Amino acid sequence: MTNKIILQAASVATLQGSGSYGLIGNGIIAIEGQTVVWVGSASDLPSQFRDWPRRDYGHRLVTPGLIDAHTHVVFAGNRAKEFEMRLNGATYEEVARAGGGILSTVTATRAASEDALLADALPRVDALIAEGAVCIEVKSGYGLDTETELRMLRAARRIAQIRPIRVVTSFLGAHAIPPEYTGRGDSYIDEVCIPTLKTAHAEGLVDAVDGFCEGIAFAPNQIARVFDAARDLGLPVKLHAEQLSNLGGAKLAASYGALSSDHVEYLDQDGVAAMADAGSVAVLLPGAFYTLGETKVPPVGQLRKHGVPMALATDCNPGSSPMTSLLLTMNMGCTLFGMTPQEALAGVTRHAAQALGLPDTGIIAPGYRADLAVWDVTDPAELSYRIGFNPLHQRIFGGLE
Ligand code: DI6
Ligand code: FE
């Protein structure tokens, strides 16, 4: 027999409908098995649900469970030493000569077993779960050879087997040029990146294809070749675009119907319009903006004006965003980027689900998964307002046991 239960709370933020919390006072959520079957005000509860077992959450607020739509949580080692060197005045070259930078993570990741990668990722995943995360995206991209890229993706898949969380993977072979291909980015794309994508896809390890389009990474024409391969395999694409400069990456991604373009600090009007036409989500990553000491903020006003949905994510990675808090991400989205607390909450629920192409989570509505977070707050703005405080009371993943 499927489990039936009624949850009751002072307020439920359904996130139904864009631009609003979808707040319901004295709210009821009816759950059957893993699915929400009814949500509304207690006074409107249909008679068929009235004798279901009930759990009363009192004064609390229920929201959709949180979704982190952009992470690199699978990697080995960390870059604290490099962080310290830089703050002691070391130059970029000195850091690089001491083995720092993204390639130091590649070296550590290549040397790590699948079990070790999983074990290293779990504390980061647990930190996200502790704040109500029910779904995370996880990228490859620190292997940059076939074997290690596959190992990263297998470790990512295993997270969902040993933790109650949904994992969506992205193949990020086009993240950086590995040392053995220095100066030969085109050869890396043809000889390693695309063949590895095909192998990983055949193993069922890839949900979407990502790339890093930037002067220090890959040019638009190289990304286009990877996206052509993704299209041939029937895989959706997304892109790290316009983070440090404007190469027209978001427009390119939009021409492939991208799920999202991420970072987008340097996005221009043309890019915003292209994203709006394609229905791409802008995934904003204030943790990287903060860590790198950037000053150019993403064009939030333009995105709003053109109706481009904005998601917020941690970008959890060892270099530019060693952050494992979606609540802090929400706060930063507001304080650093000028988003409203409503936009911040939509950014880690409704719009994050859209950025991952997930049609069954991210809002509280009949037919959606019962992925919920119960908070010890009365006003949803508190979730963005506080810094370093976790008011999570309970996380509900696919219904109650
Ligand atoms: N953008 C970033 O900021 C990171 N990757 C990316 O595509 C940097 C990753 C790292 O430094 O390890
Ligand atoms: Fe990233």
Grade residue 1 by pLDDT with cuts at 50, 70 and 90: low
Q: Is the CB of 100 under 6 A from ligand 1?
A: no
Query: Is the predicted pLDDT of residue 95 greater than 90, yes or no?
Result: no
Contacts (Cβ under 8 Å, ≥6 apart) of 216: 244
Query: Is the predicted pLDDT of residue 254 greater than 90, yes or no?
Result: yes
CA distance 29 to 58: 13
Q: Is the CB of 102 under 6 A from ligand 1?
A: yes
CA distance 262 to 315: 9
Average pLDDT estimate for 125-129: 98
Q: Tell me the residue type at 371.
A: D
Query: CB-hemisphere CA count at 13 Å for 235?
Result: 26
CA quadruple 46, 50, 52, 56: dihedral, nearest 10: 100
- Residue 142 alpha carbon, nearest atom of ligand 1: 12
Residue 374 C-alpha to ligand 2 middle, in angstroms?
29
CA distance 65 to 188: 39
Residue 40 C-alpha to ligand 1 middle, in angstroms?
42
Q: In what order do the strands lie in the sheet with 66-68?
A: 66-68, 133-139, 166-174, 208-211
Q: What is the pLDDT of residue 375?
A: 98
Q: What percent of the chain has pLDDT over 70?
A: 100
Grade residue 92 by pLDDT with cuts at 50, 70 and 90: confident
* DSSP category for residue 376: S
Average pLDDT estimate for 261-290: 98
pTM greater than 0.85 (yes/no): yes
User: Model confidence over 12-59: pLDDT tens digits?
Assistant: 999 999 899 999 999 999 999 999 999 999 999 999 999 999 999 999
- Residue 292 alpha carbon, nearest atom of ligand 1: 3
Q: Are 376 and 70 in contact (CB under 8 A)?
A: no
Q: Are 74 and 384 in contact (CB under 8 A)?
A: no
Q: Is the CB of 319 under 6 A from ligand 1?
A: yes
Which of 209, 212, 226, 284 to mutate to test ligand 1, by most ligand atoms within 8 A of the CB atom? 212
Minimum CA distance residue for ligand 1 atom 6: 212
